[in-house]
A and B are shown apart, each in its own frame.
Chain A
Amino acid sequence: MCMDIYPKYDIIVVGAGHAGCEAAAAAANLGSKVLMITMNMMNMAQMSCNPSIGGIAKGQIVREIDALGGFTGIITDKTTIQFRMLNKSKGPAMWSPRTQNDRMKFSEEWRRTLESIKKIDFWQDIVVEVLVKEDKIYGVKTGLGVVFKAKAVVLSNGTFLNGLIHIGEKHFSGGRIGENASKGLTENLVSLGFDASRMKTGTPTRADGRSINFSVMEEQKGDKHPKKFSFSDTEAVQGQKSCFLTYTSPEVHDILRKGFDRSPLFTGRIKGKGPRYCPSIEDKIERFSSRDRHQLFIEPEGWNTVEYYVNGFSSSLPEEIQFEALRKVKGFENVRFFRPGYAIEYDYFPPYQLTYTLETKKVENLYFAGQINGTTGYEEAAAQGIIAGINAHLKINHQPEFILKRSQAYIGVLIDDLITKGTDEPYRMFTSRAEYRLLLRQDNADLRLTPLGYQIGLASKERYKKVQTKYTAVKELISFLKEESADPVEINPIMEKKKTQPVQQKSKISNILLRPQINIHDLKQGIHSLDNYINNLDSDQEEIMEETEIQVKYQGYIEKEQEIADKLLRLEDLNLNEKINYSKISSLSSEAREKLTKIKPRTIGQASRISGVSPADINVLIVYLGR
Chain B
Amino acid sequence: MNRNDTICALSTPPGMGAIAVIRISGPEAIPACEKIFRPAEKNLKLSDAPSHTLHFGTISTSNELLDEVLVSVFKAPHSYTGEDVIEISCHGSVYIQQKIIEVLICNGLRMAQPGEFTMRAFLNGRFDLSQAEAIADLIASQSQSAHDLAIRQMRGGFSKKIRELREKLVTFASLVELELDFSEEDVEFADRSKLLDLILQLKNEIANLLNSFTIGNVIKKGIPVTIIGKPNVGKSTLLNALLNEERAIVSEIPGTTRDTVEDTIVIGGYSFRFIDTAGLREAEGKIESIGIEKTWEKIHQATIILYVFDATKDSSKVVMNAVSEFSEITEDSTKRLILIGNKTDKLSELPKGFREFVDHETIFISAKRKENIHLIAESLLKSVRQAGITDTAIVSNTRHYDALSHALEAINSIHEGLNTGLTPDLLSVDIHKALYHLGEITGEITTDEILGNIFSKFCIGK
> In the complex, are the beta carbons of B425 and A438 less than 8 A apart?
yes
* Chain B residues with CB under 8 A of A189: none
B137 touches A622 (CB 8 A): no
**Are B181 and A57 interface neighbours, CB within 8 A?**
yes
Which residues of the partner chain B approach A619 to less than 8 Å between Cβ atoms? Answer: 1, 113, 115-116, 119, 136, 139, 143
Q: Kindly state the separation between the CA atoms of A291 and B181 in the bound complex, as whole angstroms.
A: 21
Q: Which residues 289-309 of B sit at the A interface, judged by CB distance below 8 A?
A: none
Contact of A284 among B114, B423, B424, B461 (CB under 8 A): B461
Chain A contact patch, size range = 35 or more
Kindly report which residue of chain B lies nearest to residue A295, judged by CB atoms: B186
Contact of B122 among A433, A589, A623 (CB under 8 A): A623
Q: Which of B123-146 contact A (CB under 8 A)?
A: 123-125, 129, 132-133, 135-137, 139-140, 143-144
Closest-CB distance, B141 to chain A (whole angstroms): 8
A620 contacts the other chain (CB 8 A): yes
- Give complex CA distance A394, B3 in Å: 35
Contact (Cβ within 8 A) B139 A279: no
In contact, B462 and A296 (Cβ under 8 angstroms):
yes
- Closest CB-CB distance, B411 to chain A, in whole Å? 16
- B34 at interface by CB-CB < 8 Å: no
Bound complex: CA A586 to CA B139 (Å): 12
Does B354 sit at the interface, judged by CB under 8 A? no
Contacts of B183 in A (CB 8 A): 56, 86-87, 90, 94
Chain A residue nearest in CB terms to B124: A627
A60-99 CB mask vs B (1 if < 8 Å, else 0) is: 0000000000000000000000000011011101100000
List of B residues within 8 angstroms of A279 by Cβ: 459-461
B450 interfacial by beta-carbon distance below 8 Å: yes
For the complex, give the distance between the alpha carbons of A587 and B177 in Å: 38
A90 and B139 in contact, given A295-B186, A432-B451 (Cβ under 8 angstroms) = no
Q: Which of A90, A295, A571 contacts B425 (CB 8 A)?
A: A90
Contact A294 B181 (CB under 8 A): no
From A423, which residue of chain B is reached at the shortest CB distance? B448
Complex alpha-carbon distance, A86 and B181, angstroms: 10
Interchain CA distance A86-B425 in the complex, whole Å: 14
- Please tell me if the beta carbons of B136 and A294 are within 8 angstroms of each other in the complex: no
> A626 contacts B461, CB within 8 Å?
no
Given A276-B455, A294-B186, A585-B136, CB of A312 within 8 Å of CB of B423: no
Which of A180-188, A324-332, A449-457, A553-561 sits within the interface? A553-561
Asked if B18 is at the interface of the complex by the 8 Å CB criterion, the answer is: no
A623 touching B459 by the CB < 8 A rule?
no
**Known A-B contacts A284-B461, A622-B119; A437 and B136 likewise in contact (beta carbons under 8 Å):** no
Question: Given the known A-B contacts A91-B425, A561-B429, are A432 and B180 also in contact in the complex, defined by CB atoms under 8 Å?
Answer: yes
CB <8 Å contact, B429 and A588:
no
Query: Which B2-53 residues have C-beta < 8 A from chain A?
Result: 2-4
What CA separation (Å) do A589 and B140 show in the bound complex?
8
Closest-by-CB residue of B relative to A627 is B123
Give the CA-CA distance A294 to B132 in the complex, in Å: 60
The answer to whether B135 touches A430 (Cβ under 8 A) is no
Q: Which of B250-269 contact A (CB under 8 A)?
A: none
Q: A91-B423, A438-B429, A619-B119 are in contact. Are A291 and B459 (CB under 8 A)?
A: yes
Q: Give 7 pairs: A residue, B residue, CB < 8 Å, sorted on A.
A: A90-B180, A294-B459, A431-B180, A432-B181, A438-B425, A616-B140, A623-B132
B residues apposed to A, CB below 8 Å:
1-4, 113-116, 119, 122-125, 129, 132-133, 135-137, 139-140, 143-144, 177, 179-184, 186, 421, 423-426, 428-429, 432, 446-448, 450-452, 455, 459-462
Q: Which 5 A-B pairs have the closest CB atoms?
A: A616-B143, A295-B186, A587-B140, A587-B136, A312-B462
